[in-house]
Amino acid sequence: MKKNQESDVGKASGVVWKMWLTMKLLFCFLLIGFSTVYGNAFSQVKISISVNEVSLQEVFEKLTEQTGYHFVYSNEMLQRTGKVSVDMQDCDLGQIMAVCLKNTGLWYRLEDNIIVISPKFRQPDVPQKKITLTGNVKDKEGRPLPGVTILLKGSAVGVVSDVDGNFTLTVPEESGLTLVFSFVGMKTQEVVLSGQQVLHIVMLEDVSQMEEVIVTGYQEVKKEKMTGAVTTISSEKLSDRYTPNLIQNLEARVAGLSTYGGKPIIRGTGTLYGESAPLLVVDGLPVEGSIEDLNPYDIASVNVLKDAAASAIYGARAANGIIVVTTKNARNKGKIDIDFQANITLYENKNVDYHDNFLMNAEEQVERASEYYDYYFNRKYADDPSMTRDKVIENFGKNITDGAQINPVAYAWYQHAAGNIGRSELDNILADLSKNNFAQDFADNIYRRQVMQQYNLSLRGSSDKFRNNLVINYRTDNMGIIEHKSNWLNVYYKGSCDLAKWLVATFSVNGVYANIKQYGNDYNVNLDPFSYAQYQSFYNADGSVKKLYSWYCGNEYMPLQEGMEDLGFNLVDELRDNQTKTRRQEMRYHGDLLFKIIPGLTAQTQFVYEVNSQNVQQHATQESHAARTIKNAYAKMDTESHKLVYMTPETGGFLQTTHTSGNFWTARGQLNYTNTFGKHEISAIAGLEFRETKTSGDKSLVLGYDEQLQSSATHTVDFGTLSQMSNSPYFQMNGSPFPCNQFAFTPYLENGMGIVKEVRHRYGSGYFNATYTYDNKYNIFGSFRKDYADIYGLDAKFRGRPLWSVGIGWNAHNESFLRDLSWMDFLKLRFSYGVTGNIYQGATSHMTASSGDINSTTNLPVASISSPANPDLRWEQNRTANVGLDYGFMSYRLRGSLDYYVKTGKDIFAPITLDPTTGFSSMVANVASIRNNGIELAIGYDWFVPGNRRGFSWTTNLTVTYNKNKVLEVENPATRAYDLVSLPYKTGYPVNALWAYRFAGIDDRPGLVGQSMYYVENGNTSHNASSASVDVLEFGGQSDPKAIVGMDNQLRWNGLSLGFLLVYYGGHKMFAQPKSEVFESSWDSPLNIVYLNSWTPENHSDVPGIGEYASTSLGSECRTATNCLYDADFLKIRNITIGYDLPEHLTEKVGISKISLRFQINDPKALWIKNNAGIDPETLGIRKQASYMFGVNLSL
């Protein structure tokens, strides 16, 4: 193969040449053609071309179609050459190139199958003294850059870097000479010579080039030709900060995308019941797996499609926008690139301070509990003529023996009231309890510092015909709790092969394997330290382990019923004795064949098959609280032998297994056509797509299970009899039979019985879109798709409703009257309108029935009708109009976009009231409509542009999102206030509206003291407002932010980098820290700190009374009342990143091309929170834990 031949340089249409130069869009088919004939075949290829007064770019695109050679060039360089005319038949490519470049000052150079266009160089006249410079040029990631133009400033002396990025140049031996390094997709750099003879140059990306090609999943579209609203994020931008998953990394980078609460939503909520998350597309096809399963280190680019023109090609799955991910591919031909990344993230220890968590501490709660129990044992009976102090004490003692939940403060006062201890001993006990700090005990014994580690190894290589990419990613997380751990392994292989000059095959396999160990299910054991009273302790006074007793567990003071197990538990033991282990496997197989039929026409077939499997096992040992509860619940006294017998195995625990699996496939066949004739260009695609999804599973339950012996006794159990028992025949708790169905069968046994019902859906689609471009100035776009789904179809007119979009674009910067504006690089105006769809899987056009339940009387299977037929069922539709402006000024130092949109949802699924004679009171139907409208602004500015690695750079990217959401039409049959609070949809208000009861103060009337009051009809007040008219409610705002602002700053100097991301969320509200009413004896869990200011006759506050002044009636209104409604606006630094790239002359000594170190702080303390209560809107309580990441990246 001929190397370093004097040749000319140019650019190919499409994404391939971008990959070669920028190393960013690494998807699709590099190095087209056979491997051994490029150099010799160059002069043998016979070509015919006839064009008149067209740009060199158009000529090169035609040559690419005929030869397979791809051109690399600078747009700016070609714009100075003007139009050319060529009419040559059956000529060598070299002859045609010579004619095309005549009198242009340009020439070409062949590197493999890449033709690089550059200025025509000459070597300098030989001076008396000269020096020879050598060096290499690489990108930020340490990858060599071939084809870089190195020019001696002010002259025509220069060279082009070779395939390994190396160069040699002879220049006069003079001080102050300047070399100019330029490369497509990179920012031009100037280096002043000061005696050095070996140069190592690192070039930085040029934003204008990086975002020029947009990947939609069905095709690649040049930015100039795109009429839709799209935001592109390159892998370099993603690597500026580390996040465990992609969604977190996209926060504040994409105008119009909200990730608030970890829930991604594009351009507001457009549905009430349907899917609201955007569709995820990876390497061209949608995926059924989770976005969290994507390897963050293997992403080449992300394109977020926001309006109908960009996303309508996806039809019924496009209403919520599309996130298109392109994974990386092999970079350099003839070598294997090895990259390794490792990072460790350390989380702050959880803050368990009671006051910081808005709770009373032990001393405060003991003091207020003592006030109550003093009243309870010494004064409360005075208000009841039928009660005496002795009777109060007697009843309390009976509660103890019956197994009621008794806290140690109450027990100490009972002992004092019963005369068992004196006042001084009581005071000592209370003083000791006040010193306890259960949350700290919990942190010391249960919590541990959360540590997450992630390792990534990638190997990429290519030859003439093959491209290979293998990436292995491993993540482990101790989850911050003892006996908890998660391991996650992602293995991904992608390869492509030139099977023939006209056929390219691409194939990939992705496997995700996850193992998670965590605490098993137990309704009575909670891993929240604040669910237990502050004055409790992990240990008794003698140092022995102390047991805890929750609801229906009895108490530590009661005598144990004969033959029964003590239901007290120790949390450390429970975490060991009751565990759930989840094993998950996801496999994705993807194949792609690209047929090159004739120049400009290709056919593509794609098939993806996904299979996932999840196995969840809960193993509770014999010593676990759950197993002991089952044993007690199903014990009975034999009437003949008068001995205690057990209806479940007397020994062993239980093993509950749930297995689910899914099989999903998508097949697509597509034709792609592009053609340029004169000033006209047409690109079009048309295809068919079919998809199927199927999920199923099964459950099993083993009782009497011994893991060590691998034995069980399930066959001895009559589950039919157990399922019919409401109460235990022997075991007593709280003075009555233990409710075994509620607290044993349902939580522990029932979930392990039965099957996971199979759900299968099939879809079919046909689609077409086309773009027409005139003179690189004007674009017209149209898209059409028709979708079919098996859940619709009783009415033929709804079986396949068309979804479509149109768009127009004007590239103003290409107009002759604007070309002379040197500061204007790019200016585009675009408009689009279209209809996209959405699916709600919970509805069907057929009447459906479900079976599997057992009749409680007959013990026979029963079936029930779950939903009525709806022959008018159809897709949800979103009609979106968008007008946008894209710009780039001052050599793209200032760049960005501005969009305004109106998105109106029609036929939105919502509840509708039915005639009772149908047998149903309501059903979900296409009866609602929603409108979202908003503004999106993205601005990027380079404050300082570096000349080289040592130079200082500072780039700011600002995104602003504003969305206004409103329900235009919905039937809400709510007549009571509670109904509207629960289902907040109302015409004229946001989808996520907050409806609040109007707080009217605390009641001080006899018999009602201490309880909250709310305004009801006619200005009256009442404690119970939930049953009042909906008109008594106040609109409190919406729970999702109206405005989102993100500002990302990146500063670099001499290998050092500093980045920080500011985020603002505002315009929304939240219900938090409700001033709930509590029972007078509710001292078994921490009370909110606001109760230090609770209502008393001497203190008329707005906090309900507690203890002696507690309400006798508890309402739910307090959780959504105006006195717990807060502003949720906040401003935070999301993360701060500090990095350092070691100098190349140091890394090369150890055989490594690049070493990067990084330190990142995530979620430091908020800069500003609007509410005055100190409540973090993202947690509704204390602020999120900060974390600290240390990472290293190596490239070989």
Q: At 1175, list the tokens.
A: 């409540």
- Contact residues for 677 (Cβ-Cβ < 8 A; gap 6+): none
Local structure of 515: helix, strand or coil: strand
pLDDT in tens, 115-143: 778 777 655 554 557 888 898 888 776 67
Where is the domain boundary, 205, 230, 249?
A: 205
Alpha carbon 431 to its chain's center: 48
pLDDT number for residue 32 = 31
Look at residue 349 and tell me whether its pLDDT is greater than 90: yes
Look at residue 208 and tell me whether its pLDDT is greater than 60: no
pLDDT in tens, 759-781: 888 889 999 999 999 998 999 99
Dihedral angle, C-alpha 965, 967, 968, 974, nearest 10 °: -160
Structural domain includes residue 402 = yes
User: Do 36 and 91 share a domain, yes or no?
Assistant: yes
User: Do 59 and 78 share a domain, yes or no?
Assistant: yes
**Of 785, 879, 832, 801, which Cα lies nearest the Cα of 270?**
879
838 forms beta bridges with 876
Q: 410-431 b/e with 16+ CB inside 10 Å = b?
A: bbbbbbbbeeebeeeebeebbe
pLDDT number for residue 852 = 59
pLDDT in tens, 1123-1151: 999 999 999 999 999 999 998 888 878 88
Look at residue 992 and tell me whether its pLDDT is greater than 60: yes
Torsion-angle region of 269 (φ positive above 0: left; ψ -120 to 50: alpha; else: beta): beta
Determine contact, residues 844/791, Cβ cutoff 8 Å.
yes
> CA neighbours within 13 Å on the CB side: how many for 275?
17
711 forms beta bridges with 706
In this structure, is the dihedral angle defined by the CA atoms of residues 637, 641, 643 and 649, taken in order, positive or negative? negative
Structural domain includes residue 1071 = no
CATH number for the domain spanning 101: value is 3.55.50.30
User: Rounded to whole angstroms, how far apart are CA atoms 113 and 7?
Assistant: 12
Determine contact, residues 319/305, Cβ cutoff 8 Å.
no
Q: Which pLDDT band, with edges at 50, 70 and 90, does 895 fall under?
A: very high
pLDDT number for residue 121 = 61
User: Rounded to whole angstroms, how far apart are CA atoms 59 and 102?
Assistant: 14
pLDDT number for residue 416 = 96
DSSP state of 321: -
What domain range includes position 237?
209-329
User: Do 197 and 239 share a domain, yes or no?
Assistant: no
Whole-angstrom Cα Rg for the chain: 36
Count CB neighbours of 1190 within 10 A. Answer: 13
Structural domain includes residue 153 = yes
User: Do 325 and 214 share a domain, yes or no?
Assistant: yes
User: Do 144 and 246 share a domain, yes or no?
Assistant: no
User: Do 248 and 191 share a domain, yes or no?
Assistant: no
Structural domain includes residue 963 = no
Structural domain includes residue 606 = no
- Report the percentage of the chain scoring pLDDT > 70: 91
In this structure, is the dihedral angle defined by the CA atoms of residues 294, 297, 301 and 305, taken in order, positive or negative? positive
Local structure of 370: helix, strand or coil: helix
Structural domain includes residue 182 = yes
Mean pLDDT of 733-738: 88
Which stretches within 276-405 are classed as H helix? 308-311, 362-378, 389-402
Q: Which pLDDT band, with edges at 50, 70 and 90, does 964 fall under?
A: very high
Look at residue 63 and tell me whether its pLDDT is greater than 70: yes
Give the H or E element holding residue 628: helix 625-633
First-to-last CA distance in the chain? 26
CATH number for the domain spanning 250: value is 2.170.130.10
Mean pLDDT of 610-626: 95
Mean pLDDT of 631-636: 94
What are the E-state strand segments in 1078-1167?
1125-1127, 1130-1141, 1154-1162
User: Do 226 and 306 share a domain, yes or no?
Assistant: yes
pLDDT in tens, 167-195: 998 888 877 788 888 876 677 788 888 77
Q: Tell me, what amino acid is at 357?
A: N
Alpha carbon 152 to its chain's center: 49
Structural domain includes residue 974 = no
pLDDT number for residue 603 = 95
848-854 and 861-867: which strand pairing? Answer: antiparallel
User: Do 222 and 199 share a domain, yes or no?
Assistant: no
Where is the domain boundary, 94, 119, 144?
A: 119
Looking at every residue in the chain, the average pLDDT score rounds to: 86
Determine contact, residues 1049/955, Cβ cutoff 8 Å.
yes
Structural domain includes residue 110 = yes
Local structure of 403: helix, strand or coil: coil
pLDDT number for residue 646 = 92
Where is the domain boundary, 170, 205, 240?
A: 205
CATH number for the domain spanning 185: value is 2.60.40.1120
pLDDT in tens, 83-100: 888 888 877 777 788 788
Residue 1028 or residue 129, greater confidence = 1028
**Of 983, 985, 986, 975, which Cα lies nearest the Cα of 1028?**
975
114-119 and 299-305: which strand pairing? Answer: unpaired
Q: Which pLDDT band, with edges at 50, 70 and 90, does 797 fall under?
A: low
pLDDT number for residue 195 = 77
Q: 1167-1186 b/e with 16+ CB inside 10 Å = b?
A: eebebeeebbbbeebbbbee
Q: Which pLDDT band, with edges at 50, 70 and 90, does 42 fall under?
A: very low
- Domain total in the chain: 4
- Contact residues for 151 (Cβ-Cβ < 8 A; gap 6+): 119, 121, 157, 158, 179, 180, 182
Look at residue 1063 and tell me whether its pLDDT is greater than 80: yes
- Report the percentage of the chain scoring pLDDT > 90: 51
Look at residue 439 and tell me whether its pLDDT is greater than 90: yes
pLDDT in tens, 404-428: 999 999 999 999 999 999 999 999 9
User: Do 38 and 143 share a domain, yes or no?
Assistant: no
User: Do 306 and 380 share a domain, yes or no?
Assistant: no
Place of tokens 């394997």: 513
User: Do 109 and 142 share a domain, yes or no?
Assistant: no
In this structure, is the dihedral angle defined by the CA atoms of residues 322, 328, 333 and 334, taken in order, positive or negative? negative
Count CB neighbours of 504 within 10 A. Answer: 22
pLDDT in tens, 1102-1129: 999 999 998 877 888 999 999 999 999 9
What is the 3-state secondary structure of 4-61?
A: CCCCECCCCCCCHHHHHHHCCCCCCCCCCCCCCCHHHHCCCCEEEEEEEEEEHHHHHH
Look at residue 1073 and tell me whether its pLDDT is greater than 60: yes
CA angle 1049, 1055, 1060 (to 5 degrees): 20
User: Rounded to whole angstroms, how far apart are CA atoms 167 and 710?
Assistant: 70
User: Do 168 and 89 share a domain, yes or no?
Assistant: no
What length does the chain have?
1196
CA angle 527, 531, 534 (to 5 degrees): 115
Look at residue 706 and tell me whether its pLDDT is greater than 80: yes
User: Rounded to whole angstroms, how far apart are CA atoms 389 and 412?
Assistant: 16
Q: 909-923 b/e with 16+ CB inside 10 Å = b?
A: bbbbeeeeeeeeeee
Determine contact, residues 994/1039, Cβ cutoff 8 Å.
yes
Q: Which range is least confidently modeled, 21-25, 69-73, 235-239?
A: 21-25
Q: Which range is least confidently modeled, 36-40, 332-336, 615-619, 829-833?
A: 36-40
